[in-house]
Structure 1
């Protein structure tokens, strides 16, 4: 009895069996349920899983996450993220949003004048480090002149001094909405993102602040966040490269499957065409009439079982007429009759051998009587 699979397929099977013998616990994996059922169907017993079998020795170490890692930064997707410099990072503030002015409000000259006065008082309070009072005065000024971007930027500075980065960011967002080139708003928002550990956003804002109006403090903060921002950028580039490589791999696999399917389809079409030609040949009236003769039918079976047997029928016109018709029909292609002749030597191969498409076999010389003339 022959093995129903190739010898090449046995090699990985042997490796798998040895692996199971060395560590039977792997047979309890869900994907190997069919193997367990196969063993148990013969009365075999699977050893109980060891306590350590559920934990792979190659399992990566538990990932560390940075405090307030920037959303979408994928900082926790790489082990080296633990090297981030977290100096100065604080817990986010969760106070209700502060009052914002109505941008549709059109201030009068008197309103603008009062807003200037409130701003001056707020500056004095800030200088005295009375940040709560400064915020209150800046808010009053904002209500009087809601479209003044500088008022929001200055109030954001007071929130920043109170370690309220989210409130600072909200004010800076409004200031930048009113004046996209506000160096102060970008500077303070960059610092707020730094306090939250949003390294990329911090670097982006601080770079813009220095471009709009170079500031030594903004430049210092930028140098502090740049190493962490570069690490995140490198992680993103690495992820993009991996995704690109995976995409190319998927496309190659898909193309290979399509080509394989196309090849299989072409092969099936060719086989069907051969079969159609053969059955069309059998429907030929002359062929059907020839097969009615028992002698021709028996000779046909004899020749298809061994094409060399044609030598026995070279002087039989009925048989040779059928053979010649076969040769003229299939042209000595060597393909054989579909579904029947290929397995018995093939009429095509026979035609090649005896009808000029290949090298013809020559009959051997008749045996000589070595004792002739010795009497």
Structure 2
């Protein structure tokens, strides 16, 4: 496909791109908004302008009281390990047409197995004479006859190794190990192939396994060659893993610290709240506990009584309608006796908060039930009980003695 624009336009485009690289701020110019939108639609992340960065200010209330210790990132000289790659080769491309793997589902007869063994012997002879290509052909013919022989795949892998085709060798040896996981030749030749590709850790792993199964002088020599680089990689990976775990532990402890600080801050704020804010009705906590009393709750189960109390709470002046209702007044009597026996302050008396209703109580002075003095209707108390609860002492008390009164009549 040819370029749809001319060379002159391409040159100008190159100049524009160079300008953008030297000064990315121009991408935020209004005239170039269309180009900025196009870049962002492709997933590009554009840098902020220097002015935008300089305008960013940290609000004082956003600054932590305790200075946050910045994580010090230590420079790791081995973050990018470098090795002497002498002896390594470029990876080869596997040719499936020539590297035939045979049909493992094919039935193997004794006659066929004998023919495969004859081909293997011929291939070994050619390999020892240096005729590697011919040896490969014979090994392939043997594999097609007996595709279940791990030894045939391992020996053909050796031939590929001699031709400096490590990937082909690895493929054959891997197949051999699938057929026989204890094939020392397969581990040996695959380990050497990994060494040619610079895969030091994999090479050491295979060569160690080969030595564990059936060690020979050549395998031991190859293992010693790759061990130093393999150890460097292993130590480097362990170091990275330790750093990762240390970082995760620091983050975990930091989360715990922040959670504790938040909890302590919330607890401190709760203690600093005024008690009046926590309980605006003064003794309302005790008052509402009263309504959890079994007798009171049982009385409120009566729809008529519940409706009456709801009506009174909506409009305290409606209390007068229920003075003749024995159910409602019976509950009022129970409430007054509960208050008297519990030692709790009666809401609405002495200017305190009263039963739920307007002004934190039923109608009445000082937030109490209807009546003077913060009580129920009547002379400062429940109906029919002037100035107090039912059963209260209503005997008039003597007037205070006057200064000039010598008690002589």
Q: Which residue is equivalent to 1:94?
A: 93
What pairs up with 1:25-64 in 2 under 5 angstroms?
36-37=54-55
**More off after superposition, 187-196 vs 259-268:** 259-268
What pairs up with 1:2-151 in 2 under 5 angstroms?
36-37=54-55, 78-79=79-80, 81-82=81-82, 84-97=83-96, 98-151=99-152
1:109: Cα distance to partner?
Answer: 1.1
Q: Which residue is equivalent to 1:286?
A: 350
CA change 1:275–1:169 in 2 (3 A) is farther
1:99: Cα distance to partner?
Answer: 1.1
Query: Aligned with 1:85: secondary structure?
Result: coil
1:284: Cα distance to partner?
Answer: 6.3
Q: Distance in 2 between matches of 1:195 and 1:38?
A: 54
**Higher relative contact order (Cα pairs below 8 Å, separated by 6+ residues):** 1
Q: Distance in 2 between matches of 1:240 and 1:203?
A: 21
Q: Which residue is equivalent to 2:218?
A: 217
1:263: Cα distance to partner?
Answer: 1.9
Q: Distance in 2 between matches of 1:34 and 1:155?
A: 66
1:271: Cα distance to partner?
Answer: 4.3
What pairs up with 1:269-308 in 2 under 5 angstroms?
269-272=270-273, 274-277=275-278, 279-281=280-282, 286-287=350-351
Q: Distance in 2 between matches of 1:31 and 1:267?
A: 43
1:132: Cα distance to partner?
Answer: 1.2
Give the root-mean-square deviation of aligned CA atoms.
Answer: 3.0
Query: Aligned with 1:140: secondary structure?
Result: helix
- Residues 159-205 of structure 1: CA deviation (Å, up to 9, x unaligned): 00000000000000010111111110000000000000111110011
CA change 1:90–1:281 in 2 (3 A) is same
Q: Which residue is equivalent to 2:189?
A: 188
Query: Aligned with 1:279: secondary structure?
Result: coil
Aligned length: 227
Tell me the TM-score normalised to structure 2 length. 0.51
Q: Distance in 1 between matches of 2:252 and 2:160?
A: 52
CA change 1:277–1:150 in 2 (3 A) is closer
1:268: Cα distance to partner?
Answer: 3.8
CA change 1:267–1:132 in 2 (3 A) is same
Q: Distance in 1 between matches of 2:166 and 2:94?
A: 11
Q: Which residue is equivalent to 1:247?
A: 248
**Structure with larger Rg:** 2
Query: Aligned with 2:102: secondary structure?
Result: coil
Q: Distance in 1 between matches of 2:50 and 2:279?
A: 47
1:86: Cα distance to partner?
Answer: 1.6
Q: Distance in 2 between matches of 1:38 and 1:143?
A: 72
Q: Distance in 2 between matches of 1:104 and 1:35?
A: 68
| Structure with the larger helix share | 1
- Residues 229-252 of structure 1: CA deviation (Å, up to 9, x unaligned): 000001101101100110000000
1:266: Cα distance to partner?
Answer: 2.5
Q: Structure 2: where are the runs of 5+ without partners?
A: 1-46, 58-73, 284-346, 354-409
Q: Is the 8 A contact 2:282 2:352 kept in 1?
A: no
Query: Aligned with 2:281: secondary structure?
Result: helix
Q: Which residue is equivalent to 1:261?
A: 262
1:120: Cα distance to partner?
Answer: 1.2
1:156: Cα distance to partner?
Answer: 0.2
Q: Distance in 1 between matches of 2:219 and 2:351?
A: 99
Q: Which residue is equivalent to 2:29?
A: none
Q: Which residue is equivalent to 1:171?
A: 172
Q: Is the 8 A contact 2:276 2:282 kept in 1?
A: no
Q: Which residue is equivalent to 1:206?
A: 207
Q: Distance in 2 between matches of 1:96 and 1:275?
A: 87
